[in-house]
């Protein structure tokens, strides 16, 4: 495609080093659609006849059908996916397959192919985030009123419900869904027609070309930027890195919850493994692997940012490596989302144990301080009074609600309430009824809100889009 000035061939080692087909073959179908749209634009500009355009379209349709049946070759001797497509079109159309490249560069071609491919893949990632959230919402619905310990600093803090905990992770993932939507919008301008860097000399209608390829934002407005920009890839990489970070936090919680020390939940056989040596083991491998893959996705973001940080305008061959970094990160993110959804659905909480542990460890201390405040004690004074009461309860080996009556009168003379009832876990939970609180009524209201939000997401994800080939 570029050999006019050259006499000799590439060194075989460098030829292998610079080939990108093993990676960019996933852009094959996007490249075919780019060729279809470009041939239509060339025909409208008078460069091709209508007959020639239809010949190319028939060849493209044949190639789509062939690759759908047999797969896109990735070990071919073609330099990249664009070379592969051009060679196959030439084989079917002769010199006409070469003429379709008139007025176009691989620089604007790959920029367009990438946007076409990534906007479809981003929709798939949105759908998978929705699957994890749906699993968490279903879990929350089954445990909206089920108490469990809540933690700060990995120390027991205050009781929450299992449902509230599940929805906390869903909220984080909802922000990731929003980031993916934002990133998707950044793909909605069409670079095709930008040429190598200065724009095309062919009088194509770029607005019609963008519409033909369903780019909602129309054509890009600067050819230099259009061929060189990769910040939209970095943005998508960040959305994936953040989503995997949130999945890693979910995984860490559940790995701890599944430990013998906590015993809050058990993972089913579908997402657990055992030990080759220790017969008693049930390891939370699914969540551990989700946690582990997060590092690679975060690394992809750093690699992309490092690649683009010092590049002059416009295109540089360094940008070929963007796909080598980003595509595996996308695939890892998709796999982590699928696995996390599966693990959540195969996690069984021990409601009785969680409830029993929610009532232990002085997690009702703040509520006791609030009762003192209601009795007229300033909160800072109440904080000190309850701290002394906790110390005495620790010495006696009892919970605050089980302090002997004499100790209650001595330590808490301001109170006449029945502490067993006032500090019962159900009462502690019910007090937290403000929006965002862990009270079962609040959790149930949030579940209904989430059901509506998931339905809205499903409408967005279910718009007719061909599912992208996995990187």
In a domain, 167, yes or no: yes
Which residue numbers are catalytic? Answer: 153, 275
Same domain, 326 and 405: no
Would you say residue 163 lies in a domain?
Answer: yes
In a domain, 203, yes or no: yes
Kindly report, residue by residue over 268-312, the tens digit of the pLDDT. 999 999 988 999 999 999 999 999 999 999 999 999 999 999 999
- pLDDT tens digits, residue range 162-177? 999 999 999 999 999 9
Is residue 52 located within the same domain as residue 133? no
Domain boundary residue among 102, 131, 154?
Answer: 102
- Looking at residue 319, its pLDDT comes to 96
Asked if 205 and 304 sit in the same domain, the reply is yes
Answer yes or no: is pLDDT of 460 > 90. Answer: no
Per the rule left: phi > 0, alpha: psi between -120 and 50, beta: everything else, 216 is alpha
Domain annotation covers residue 443: no
Entry pTM: 0.94
Same domain, 373 and 252: no
Token readout for 293 is: 């893959």
CATH of the domain at 90: 1.10.275.10
Q: How far is CA 299 from the centre of its chain?
A: 15
**Single residue among 65, 81, 102 that ends a domain in this structure:** 102
- Residue 195 to residues 22, 33, 48, 73: CA-CA distances in angstroms? 25, 17, 18, 27
Residues 295 and 214 in one domain: yes
Instruction: Answer yes or no: is 466 within a domain.
Output: no
The yes-or-no verdict on residue 2 having pLDDT over 50 is no
**Phi and psi angles of residue 219, each rounded to the nearest 5 degrees, phi first:** -80, 155
In the predicted model, is pLDDT for residue 464 greater than 80? no
Judge if 146 and 222 occupy the same domain. Answer: yes
Whether the pLDDT of residue 370 is over 70: the answer is yes
Residues 97 and 112 in one domain: no
pLDDT tens digit sequence for 67-80: 999 999 998 889 99
Range 430-433 contact pairs with CB under 8 angstroms and sequence separation of 24 or more: 431/367, 431/370
The residue among 391, 406, 423 that closes a domain is 423
Whether 398 is in a domain gets the answer: yes
List pLDDT tens digits, range 390-404.
Answer: 999 999 999 999 999
The domain spanning residue 411 has which CATH number?
1.10.40.30
pLDDT in the model for residue 418: 95
434 falls within a domain? no
- Same domain, residue pair 186 and 136: yes
CATH classification at residue 226? 1.20.200.10
- Number of domains the chain is built from: 3
Please check whether residues 236 and 368 belong to one and the same domain. Answer: no
Taking the alpha carbons at both ends of the chain, their separation in whole angstroms is 25
Q: Which domain covers residue 385, as residue numbers? A: 360-423
* pLDDT for the residue numbered 463: 58
pLDDT in tens, 342-369: 999 999 999 999 999 999 999 999 999 9
Q: Is the pLDDT of residue 85 over 50?
A: yes
User: What was the pLDDT predicted at 13?
Assistant: 83
Residues 158 and 19 placed together within one structural domain of the fold:
no
Quote the pLDDT of residue 6: 63
Asked if residue 111 and residue 87 are part of one domain, the reply reads no
| Pair (325, 341) in one structural domain | yes
Q: Give pLDDT tens digits for 33-72.
A: 999 999 999 999 999 999 999 999 999 999 999 999 999 9
């Amino acid at each position: 495609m570029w050999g006019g000035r050259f006499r000799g061939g590439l060194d075989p080692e460098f030829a292998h080093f610079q080939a990108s087909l093993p990676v960019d073959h996933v852009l094959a179908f996007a490249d075919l659609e780019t060729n279809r749209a470009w041939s239509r634009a060339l025909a409208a500009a008078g460069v091709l006849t209508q007959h020639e355009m239809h010949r190319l379209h028939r060849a493209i349709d044949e190639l789509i059908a062939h690759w759908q049946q047999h797969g896109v070759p990735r070990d071919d001797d073609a330099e990249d996916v664009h070379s592969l497509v051009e060679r196959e079109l030439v084989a079917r159309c002769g010199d006409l397959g070469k003429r379709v490249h008139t007025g176009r560069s691989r620089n604007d071609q790959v920029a367009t192919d990438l946007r076409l491919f990534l906007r479809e893949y981003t929709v798939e990632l949105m759908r998978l985030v929705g699957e994890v959230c749906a699993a968490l919402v279903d879990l929350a619905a089954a445990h909206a009123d089920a108490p469990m310990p809540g933690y700060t600093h990995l120390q027991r803090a205050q009781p929450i419900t299992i449902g509230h905990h599940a929805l906390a992770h869903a909220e984080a993932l909802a922000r990731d869904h929003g980031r993916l939507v934002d990133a998707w919008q950044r793909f909605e301008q069409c670079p095709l027609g930008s040429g190598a860097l200065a724009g095309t000399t062919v009088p194509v209608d770029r607005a019609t070309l963008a519409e033909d390829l369903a780019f909602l934002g129309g054509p890009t407005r600067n050819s230099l930027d259009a061929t060189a920009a990769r910040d939209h890839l970095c943005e998508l990489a960040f959305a994936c890195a953040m989503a995997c970070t949130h999945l890693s936090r979910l995984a860490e919680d559940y790995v701890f919850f599944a430990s013998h020390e906590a015993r809050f939940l058990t993972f089913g056989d579908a997402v657990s493994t055992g030990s080759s040596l220790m017969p008693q083991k049930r390891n939370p491998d699914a969540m551990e692997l989700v946690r582990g893959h997060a590092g690679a996705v975060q690394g992809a973001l750093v690699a992309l940012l490092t690649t683009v940080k010092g590049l002059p305008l416009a295109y540089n061959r360094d940008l070929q490596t963007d796909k080598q970094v980003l595509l595996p990160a996308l695939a890892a993110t998709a796999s982590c989302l699928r696995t996390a959804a599966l693990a959540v659905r195969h996690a069984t909480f021990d409601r009785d144990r969680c409830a029993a542990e929610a009532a232990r460890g002085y997690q009702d201390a703040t509520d006791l301080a609030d009762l003192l405040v209601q009795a007229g004690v300033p909160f800072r004074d109440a904080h000190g009074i309850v701290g002394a009461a906790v110390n005495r309860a620790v010495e006696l080996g009892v919970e605050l609600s089980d302090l002997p009556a004499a100790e209650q009168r001595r330590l808490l003379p301001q109170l006449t309430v029945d502490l067993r009832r006032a500090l019962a876990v159900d009462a502690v939970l019910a007090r937290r009824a403000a929006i965002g609180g862990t009270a079962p009524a609040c959790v149930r209201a949030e579940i209904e809100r989430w059901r509506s939000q998931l339905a809205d997401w499903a409408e967005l994800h279910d718009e007719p889009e061909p599912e992208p080939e996995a990187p």
